[in-house]
């Protein structure tokens, strides 16, 4: 048997850490979104939940799956239940107040009171208006 030893420089470790940077999540709970790719392409819905670790979101009425369940207190008969499955956030676009799917940007908003710092606000890149 032969054993191979390899050494790793500290510089290589730093490069690998930089490559694993996290994506920014442009979608929040309560946003109205449009599906831009996949089986549910073209459907609209409201975001119920965002799973940040997996970069997925649960959207109302989108990506419906059939779940086979046993009988329990909630569903005494059991059977097949339709429910939403998470969808990757790269397949979603936020809908602005005019009903257009748009990309999201962040910029400093106006401070509410004199002497306060300005907060980052999300805005539509298509129309330039703020997204609440």
In a domain, 112, yes or no: yes
Q: What is the mean pLDDT of residues 4-16?
A: 54
The average pLDDT across 106-132 equals 88
Do 86 and 44 fall into the same domain?
A: yes
Q: What pLDDT, on a 0 to 100 scale, did the predictor assign at position 104?
A: 92
pLDDT in tens, 38-89: 999 999 999 999 999 999 999 999 999 999 999 999 889 999 999 999 999 9
Give Rg (Cα) of the chain: 22
Domain that holds residue 61: 25-95
115 and 54 in a common domain: no
- Confirm whether 64 is domain-assigned: yes
Average pLDDT, the chain: 86
DSSP string, 25-63: P---TT-EEEE-SSTTTT-EEEEEEEETTTTEEEETTSS
- Answer yes or no: do 111 and 129 share one domain: yes
Question: pTM for the complete prediction?
Answer: 0.73
């Amino acid at each position: 048997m032969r054993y191979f030893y390899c050494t790793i420089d500290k510089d290589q470790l730093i490069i690998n850490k930089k490559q694993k940077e996290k994506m920014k999540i442009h979608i929040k709970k309560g946003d109205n979104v449009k599906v831009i790719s996949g089986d549910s392409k073209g459907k609209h819905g409201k975001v119920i939940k965002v799973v940040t670790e997996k970069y997925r979101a649960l959207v109302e009425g989108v990506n419906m799956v059939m779940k086979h369940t046993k009988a329990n207190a909630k569903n005494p008969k059991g059977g097949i239940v339709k429910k939403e499955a998470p969808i990757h956030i790269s397949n979603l676009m936020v809908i602005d107040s005019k009903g257009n799917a748009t990309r999201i940007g962040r910029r400093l908003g106006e401070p509410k009171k004199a002497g306060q710092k300005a907060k980052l606000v999300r805005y539509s890149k298509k129309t330039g208006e703020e997204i609440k």
